Structures are given as C-alpha cells and as structure tokens.
Amino acid sequence: MLNTILFILLWVAAIAFFSWSVKKIRRNIKLGKDIEIKDNRKKRWGLVAKVAVGQSKMFGLPISGILHLFVYAGFILVNIEMLEVMIDGVAGTHRALADVFGFLYPIAISSFEFFALLVIIGCIVFLIRRNILRVNRFWKPEMKWWPRLDANIILITEVVLMTSIFFMNASDYILQTRGTEHYKEVGSFFFSSFFVPMLQNLPTETLLVIERVCWWLHIIGIMLFLNYIPYSKHFHVFLSFVNVFYSKLDPAGKLENMPSITKEVKSMLSGEEPPMEEEGEEVSFGASDVKQLTWKLLMDSYTCTECGRCSKVCPANITGKKLSPRKLIMDVRDRLELTGKNIDKHGKDFGDDKSLFNYITAEELWACTTCNACTESCPVNIDHVSLILELRRYIVMEQAASPGELNAIFNNIENNGAPWQFSQDDRMLWADELYIKEK
C-alpha cells in the first residue's frame, strides 16, 4: 500500500515537473517570429516516417547509424515493459501480465532483454568512441565540458537503466525457484539467465533487496531521466519528430524570400513613395537576436543533439576556419535559454542589451559558402544556412557592415550588373569572332 502511494506520487511529480519544463521550452520557441507552416501535410508525414522514425539520414555514417538504431529501437521497445511496471506499481501486483500471456510471457521478456542488450552495446561503444577513441567531431572547440558531460550522463544513465533490468530479472528467477512468496513462477528469461550463476549463492534476503532495488532504480531512473532530458541535448528524442515535420520542403538551394523588401523594391522601381510602415510594425532586416528568428529556427536549436555531422562535412570547418555549423545552432539555444530565464526573472519585455552577435562572430558567418552540406547531413533537418543568412542580412542591411570586398561586389552589381567591374555594354564581347566548323 505504501509502495503504491509512493509509486503514484513519484509519477505525478515526475510528469508535473516534466510538463513544466516542456512548457518553458515551448514558450521559448514561440518567442520566435511567427510563420505559418501548414502546406503539404502528406509530404511532411512522409518525411517524419522516413527521416525521423526511419532514421534515414543517420546511415550517412553507417557505424553510428547502426549503433544509434540499437539504442533508439531498443529503448523504445524495452519501454513497452513499462506498461507492466505501471500496472504492478499501481496495483501492487508482481508481473501482472505473466498470467495474461502465459507461455508467451518469458519469450516477450526475453526479447525485451535482447533489446536492452542492444542498448547497452550501443551506449558502451558510443562511450568508447567519445572518450577513448576521441572521435574528432566530439572534440571540436564548441564541445566544451558541458556538452561532453551531457553526452556521457545520457549514455551512462541508459547503461545503468538497462543493466538494472538484467539483475532484476535474474534475481527474480532465482527467487521463483526458491518458492519465495510473491514471486510466482513465470519461467526463466534468456539473456538474464547468464547473470544467474553470479547471484545464485546469495541468500534470499539479499536477492529480495537486489530485485527491489533494481525495480525501483529502473523506475526512478526513468523518471529522473525524463526530467533531465528537457535540460539536455537529449531533447531530440521528442523534438526530432516535430522538427522533421516542419522541415523546409523547397529545394535546398532556394533561400527564404523577404516580402517586406519586395514592397520597397517595387515602389523604388516604379518611382513611387515607399509604403508607410504600419503603426507598431517593427521591421528588421535579418536577425540579430533570437526573437527575430522564426520559431522554426529556434526549434532547430532545441532539436540539435550536437552530433556534429554538419561540422564534419562543412568545407569551412574542414579547412580550419572558425565556422562550425553545430556551434551556431548551440549558440542559438544558449542565447534562447538565457532569454527565457531573463523573462522568468524580469518579465517579458526585459532586454539584456546582448544579442546573438555576442555569441557568433562575423568571421564565422562570412566563411559559409552556402553549399548546404550541413543541412544535407543533418539527421533531424536543421536549417543552418537559413540561420546564417538571417544573420548576414542583419550585418549587411541593418549594420551596413559587410566586408569591404563584398561591398565592392554590391557596387559593381548595382552599377554595371555584374560582380566584376565590366560595363554592361560589354556583355556580348564573348561572342566576338566565334566560328564553327561547317561539315
């Protein structure tokens, strides 16, 4: 009875705190510029199935792709077992589903154990790759202590959660064979049976403790993990599905239009007065801070799991430039988190006279070739190029601070219709003295 109350109370608390955290993130994302993404729902669901659920882009790097599949599929399937845990926890029963499923039950549990094993293998290899092999993309400058620790916390937690299942099941089985009260005979489970010899000589009391501790460790571990996720890069386990749904559907080469400028340019070309700005309408060209970015770009930052595939393929990053697409996305998230905290503390109109440019330098932004290798490689369809473009637009149009060489190009295009300083009248010179062999 006491256990049941404790169990229910813990879950209520865990879910309440989780909802509170998620609401914060949702509020932060909604600080972004409002845009409507409602087109092509069919295509979007297709993308969710392929890219998010089907993990299609993960296999660009086959080893990480397969290991990630172990952890992803394993973790989801293992947690089907949570259903029984919930029933047992609330009803005070033990392995309530064993009677329902009969001889299938040990098979089901054994297969969950198989998936748990996959998760453990995946996580351990990941830990080795990060900490011992030191795979380059996990040791770039933006991977400071917290991103590295964050990743390790996640991986170790998953190993602990999964290992507890094996010890729980193994001790459970031994208790069954000893006819211990409450531990009805449901049979042995394939993978945990390998742990049986290790525990076999322990007294019943100790086994009872192990079984119960592992059970609670698993439950409380999952509750804690759930509440850790919103404060971690691990939030991708939820947001990647949503973020992929809201993917850019246009060809990667197309950049976002700015209708506000279209109005101005049209009036300039037709020689009319530019339209008056509507009262209260704050027009900024490009973005200097998170509130001027679209909510989708802000969602991108919360979806990023810092895998670094973008930076691994970025031509600028490969050749030692400061630009790292992953860092930019992490910067947006850091800035957005701080903006959110400031709102919590000082109210919604608070400004801290900082901007994204306190995080991101012009040097990083100008190194981008807009080649879209980053967006192509991102497993959750983050749009780094749009972010870079918005910041460039601000530098050029609001600050008039573009690099001198680019200013010269702009002048040339404006004055003679080409980035080079050639007269537009010379645009046909290439065709001079052009001959073809008659056959």
Partner 1 sequence: MSENKRKIEVPVMADVFAKGQKPEYLLWVGSAGAFDDRYKKVTRAFVKILEHLKISYAVLGVEESSSGDIARRAGNEMLFQMQAMMNIEILNGYEVKKIITCDPHAFNTLKNEYTDYDGNYEIIHHTQFLRQLITEGKLKIESGIFKDKTLTYHDPCYLGRGNNEYDAPRDVLNAIPSKKVEMKRNKSNALCCGAGGGQMFKEAEKGDKEVFIERIEEALATNAEVVVTACPYCMVMMTDGLKYKNKEEEIKNYDIAELIEQTLDL
CA angle 45, 50, 54 (to 5 degrees): 125
Rounded to an integer, what distance in angstroms lies between the CA atom of residue 240 and that of residue 242?
5
Cα-Cα end-to-end distance for the chain = 99
What is the token pair recorded at 242?
Answer: 């949503």
Contact of 208 with 175, CB cutoff 8 Å: yes
Residue 284 Cβ, how far from partner 1 at the closest point, in Å? 12
| Nearer Cβ to partner 1 (119/332) | 332
Residue 332 Cβ, how far from partner 1 at the closest point, in Å? 18
What is the token pair recorded at 41?
Answer: 């729902």
Residue 252 Cβ, how far from partner 1 at the closest point, in Å? 5
Q: What is the DSSP annotation of 102-133?
A: TTHHHHHHHHHHHHHHHHHHHHHHHHIIIIIS
Rounded to an integer, what distance in angstroms lies between the CA atom of residue 312 and that of residue 310?
5
Query: Tokens 């489970």, residue?
Result: 189
CA angle 197, 107, 98 (to 5 degrees): 95
Residue 351 Cβ, how far from partner 1 at the closest point, in Å? 24
- For 100, 210, 306, the CA distances from 90, given in Å and listed in that order, are 17, 21, 38
Residue 407 Cβ, how far from partner 1 at the closest point, in Å? 9
Q: Which of 236, 234, 239, 255 is nearest to 295 (CA)?
A: 239
| Nearer Cβ to partner 1 (26/427) | 427
| Nearer Cβ to partner 1 (227/370) | 370
| Nearer Cβ to partner 1 (100/255) | 255
| Nearer Cβ to partner 1 (109/360) | 360
Q: Which residues are within 8 A (CB) of 232 and not within 5 positions of it... i.e. 6 or more apart?
A: 150, 153, 154
| Nearer Cβ to partner 1 (17/285) | 285
H or E element that contains 302: helix 295-303
Residue 388 Cβ, how far from partner 1 at the closest point, in Å? 9
| Nearer Cβ to partner 1 (169/381) | 381
Residue 346 Cβ, how far from partner 1 at the closest point, in Å? 32
| Nearer Cβ to partner 1 (19/361) | 361
Residue 377 Cβ, how far from partner 1 at the closest point, in Å? 8
